[in-house]
Chain A
């Protein structure tokens, strides 16, 4: 079980209260009409699956119901940091 710090509630809660929502920082193309099928398909369907540092979107579903980002090591399961939507991670892979 993860023990996750919610940056909005400002305390640690059990993983049971959260849902993982996949990869974070996926920018929607500014002009979808101008995308090729390949670009649009990659935006919609293709996700990273790294062994190591991964930036993820989580939601505090049973708590404040706010989304936030988490940097997590997929190999050791260590949570490196959590940060709010709109902020940039300070821990990034080399």
Chain B
């Protein structure tokens, strides 16, 4: 890969075109793609014990970063902004507190940050990143579901052809794959905890699918 558009840091810092704060502030109530499911009420009224726990990590900032993994200056800039280096090994992820980075492809990463910090972080990327890169705020297009509990793995195994055996799917591994006839980015975030990043338009379908798939183990909704 070559840097087609070689800009000095000053030039790229000046490129603020098309940067706008897409996330409403705390004074504006945001609605997640599963707003209609009212998970808060279900969490209060529903069962308190079961094999699968489901929680929506809603209204996070999703930033899609595309840059050159061989460009040391860009890698350093990402580390300055997020405090953690881009994971360069395929199918791995990196975390620094509330920031997490997922490897999506050899030149693409998905960065999750707290929703209200998204614009600040995007602005700092524009200031820090040299050279040819792309950073897109795709927060509105997807949401994150967290499945945990002793049967979370079984629910996932019903839904995707990916081999999720702990031997080949260690904590921190990320795969983008087909999931329940839709698609999902699956990350193992703990021993018995998995994060699914799903498309907004499929959120309701996946929610229905997960309720059905976890019925035999008992589904506990958390808010």
Contact code string A55-83 (vs B, CB < 8 Å = 1, else 0) = 00000001111100000000000000000
| Contact status B177-A63, CB under 8 Å | yes
| Contact status A65-B178, CB under 8 Å | no
Shortest beta-carbon distance from B138 to chain A in Å: 14
Residue B162 lies at the interface, judged by CB distance under 8 Å to chain A: yes
| Contact status B90-A62, CB under 8 Å | no
> Interface size class for chain B?
10 to 19
| Contact status A64-B105, CB under 8 Å | yes
Which B92-109 residues sit within 8 Å CB-CB of chain A?
104-106, 108
> Interface size class for chain A?
10 to 19
| Contact status A11-B91, CB under 8 Å | yes
Of the candidate stretches A12-20, A30-38, A45-53, the one touching chain B is A12-20
Q: Which residues of A contact B183 (CB under 8 A)?
A: 62
| Contact status A17-B178, CB under 8 Å | yes
Residue B88 lies at the interface, judged by CB distance under 8 Å to chain A: no
Residue A10 lies at the interface, judged by CB distance under 8 Å to chain B: yes
A-B Cβ contacts below 8 A, count: 39
Interface of A is mostly: loop
Q: Which residues of A contact B175 (CB under 8 A)?
A: 9, 63
| Contact status B91-A62, CB under 8 Å | no
Given contacts A17-B178, A63-B176, A65-B105, contact A9 B161 (CB under 8 A): no
Complex CA gap A10/B88 in Å reads 12
Q: Which residues of B contact A16 (CB under 8 A)?
A: 161, 178
| Contact status A14-B105, CB under 8 Å | no
Q: Which residues of B contact A62 (CB under 8 A)?
A: 176-178, 183
Complex CA gap A10/B105 in Å reads 11
Shortest beta-carbon distance from B176 to chain A in Å: 5
| Contact status B177-A17, CB under 8 Å | yes
Residue A25 lies at the interface, judged by CB distance under 8 Å to chain B: no
Closest chain B residue to A12, Cβ basis: B163
| Contact status B178-A8, CB under 8 Å | no
Closest chain B residue to A14, Cβ basis: B161
Q: Which residues of A contact B91 (CB under 8 A)?
A: 9-11
Q: Which of B90, B168, B178 contacts A9 (CB 8 A)?
A: B90
Closest chain B residue to A1, Cβ basis: B161
Given contacts A13-B177, A17-B178, contact A64 B161 (CB under 8 A): no
Q: Which residues of B contact A17 (CB under 8 A)?
A: 161, 177-178
Given contacts A9-B90, A10-B90, contact A64 B104 (CB under 8 A): yes
List 19 additional A-B contacts (Cβ < 8 Å) besides A13-B161, A13-B162, A63-B177: A8-B90, A8-B105, A9-B90, A10-B91, A11-B90, A11-B168, A13-B177, A14-B162, A62-B177, A62-B178, A62-B183, A63-B175, A64-B90, A64-B104, A64-B105, A64-B106, A65-B105, A65-B176, A66-B106
The 6 closest A-B CB pairs, nearest first, are: A64-B105, A14-B161, A62-B178, A10-B90, A63-B176, A9-B90
